[in-house]
């Protein structure tokens, strides 16, 4: 893990991006095969990439019930409690329609309607993530989505992890299919004999999924193009180095492209954390992945003040930001760019990943500068509406016509003015 004493904003932004261009041709071929051959192509790809021989791509109700019964009662309760927390948080995001009335009988407003069909992609690494299922499905349910289709790759024996199916049951998934990768994205975007075409695709994935989502955007909506996971711990010198090291490693173990950064105003803490990272690394089952991540993307920046540290965080715009300081609420006002912010020394990023309630599907690769966590908003559409009585329209018509003619659109002008000179109904 590299320690850097001088801040360099350009260097802060040098992330190891996934090379989608390298897989573009392969993803094009997969999409075309799925569009042409449907379920047959899906079965072929599942055999090739997952080693599973399937006749039925769909997870049956019997499989879901068996998975629920095979999941220990304590974890089932954990899933239920996490789901309650997620629902409680996301229910506050539900918007109300509004109506505005103006003089002359004019009525206008805005209404929200749910997206009808949503596909949720869940990778298997090493198992289909039950936390991702809860985080993606529950906001969609709260938004009123009527058909939620989950896709996840099977194990070689054709099964899906019981924990994932238990989470799907708790969250309220409508249909589950044993497919993954670019082929699952293509199936959701275009539909096959078994897999329904959806209106929006959400959920994480590797470089093939990211490339496929980018290619089908426009045919369907997507949530975001997710990059490698990131954490930035902003800490003063009074934090426990072991706690900070553990939080950095919690992201580094995701994959070799993950980014773990410490920004602190204390050289003593920087040195102590660096030593503690080495100690804890050796205790991790995924230590080889974590070590490669830290060697490639791990950084420790030492700043002159916490204010300067906060500005560094704004430049990096991390997916996860921890404020491990005495008064995190005071520092919060200085944060402009971050996906999810964890306040204080007792709120690790893992709390948000699994349990607390705010969503863990977050903007990465600096996109927190302009985008937001997954929310109920991602599963609804807004429509505006307006009503003008004839008298109000006649009053506005000359101004509308003037506007239209200045833009060279005579038919627009006439559409407004005709309502001043003729009746609204066909004469008998």
- What residues act catalytically? 319-320
- Cα(235)–Cα(321) distance, integer angstroms: 10
Q: Which helix (H) or strand (E) holds 99?
A: strand 98-102
* Diameter of the chain measured on Cα atoms: 91
Give residue for tokens 């060697």: 295
Tell me if 364 sits within 8 A of 229, measured CB to CB. Answer: yes
The DSSP letter of residue 325 is S
Whether residue 233 has a cis bond before it, omega within 30° of 0 = no
Contacts of 408 (CB under 8 A, 6+ apart): none
- Cα(162)–Cα(19) distance, integer angstroms: 33
- SS3 at position 58: strand
Give bridge partners of residue 200 from the DSSP assignment.
Answer: 118, 221
Strand-by-strand arrangement of the 230-235 sheet: 2-4, 299-302, 259-264, 230-235, 320-324, 340-343
61-98 exposure pattern, b = at least 16 Cβ within 10 A, e = fewer: eebbeebbeebeeeebebbeebbebbbebbeeeeeeee
Kindly give the pairing relationship between strand 106-114 and strand 98-102: antiparallel
- Cα(209)–Cα(123) distance, integer angstroms: 9
Q: How far is CA 129 from the centre of its chain?
A: 14
Residue 158 falls in which region: left (phi positive, over 0), alpha (psi -120 to 50) or beta: left
Tell me if 212 sits within 8 A of 30, measured CB to CB. Answer: yes
Strand-by-strand arrangement of the 98-102 sheet: 98-102, 106-114, 380-387
């Amino acid at each position: 893990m590299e320690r850097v004493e001088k801040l360099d904003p350009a260097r802060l932004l040098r992330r190891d991006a996934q090379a989608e261009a390298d897989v573009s041709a392969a993803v094009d071929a997969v999409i075309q095969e799925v569009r042409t051959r449907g379920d047959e192509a899906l079965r072929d790809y599942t055999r090739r990439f997952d080693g599973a021989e399937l006749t039925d791509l769909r997870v049956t109700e019997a499989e879901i019930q068996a998975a629920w019964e095979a999941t220990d009662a304590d974890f089932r309760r954990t899933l239920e409690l996490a789901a309650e927390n997620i629902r409680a948080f996301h229910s506050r995001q539900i918007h109300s329609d509004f109506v505005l009335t103006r003089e002359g009988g004019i009525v206008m407003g805005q209404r929200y309607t749910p997206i009808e069909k949503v596909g949720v992609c869940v990778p298997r690494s090493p198992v289909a993530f039950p936390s991702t299922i809860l985080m993606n499905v529950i906001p969609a349910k709260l938004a009123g989505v009527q058909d939620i289709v989950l896709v996840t790759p099977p194990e070689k024996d054709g099964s899906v992890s019981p924990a994932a199916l238990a989470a799907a049951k708790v969250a309220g998934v409508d249909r589950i299919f044993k497919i993954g990768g670019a082929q699952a994205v293509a199936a959701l975007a275009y539909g096959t004999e078994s897999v329904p075409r959806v209106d929006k695709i959400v959920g994480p994935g590797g470089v093939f999924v990211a490339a496929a989502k980018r290619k089908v955007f426009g045919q369907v909506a997507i949530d975001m193009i997710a990059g490698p996971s990131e954490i930035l711990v902003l800490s003063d010198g009074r934090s426990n180095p072991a706690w900070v090291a553990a939080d950095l490693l919690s992201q580094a173990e995701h994959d070799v492209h993950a980014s773990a950064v410490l920004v602190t105003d204390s050289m003593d803490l920087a040195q102590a954390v660096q030593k503690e990272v080495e100690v804890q690394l050796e205790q991790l089952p995924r230590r080889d992945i974590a070590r490669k991540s830290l060697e490639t993307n791990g950084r420790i920046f030492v700043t002159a003040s916490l204010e300067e540290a906060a500005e560094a965080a704004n430049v990096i715009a991390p997916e996860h930001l921890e404020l491990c300081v005495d008064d995190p609420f005071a520092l919060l006002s200085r944060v402009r760019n971050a996906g999810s912010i964890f306040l204080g020394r007792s709120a690790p990023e893992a709390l948000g990943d699994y349990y607390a309630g705010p969503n863990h599907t977050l903007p990465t690769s600096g996109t927190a500068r302009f985008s937001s966590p997954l929310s109920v908003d991602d599963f609804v559409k807004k429509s505006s509406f307006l009503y003008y009585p004839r008298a109000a329209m006649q009053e506005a018509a000359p101004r509308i016509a003037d506007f239209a003619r200045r833009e060279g659109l005579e038919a627009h002008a006439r559409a407004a003015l005709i309502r001043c000179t003729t009746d609204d109904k066909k004469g008998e």
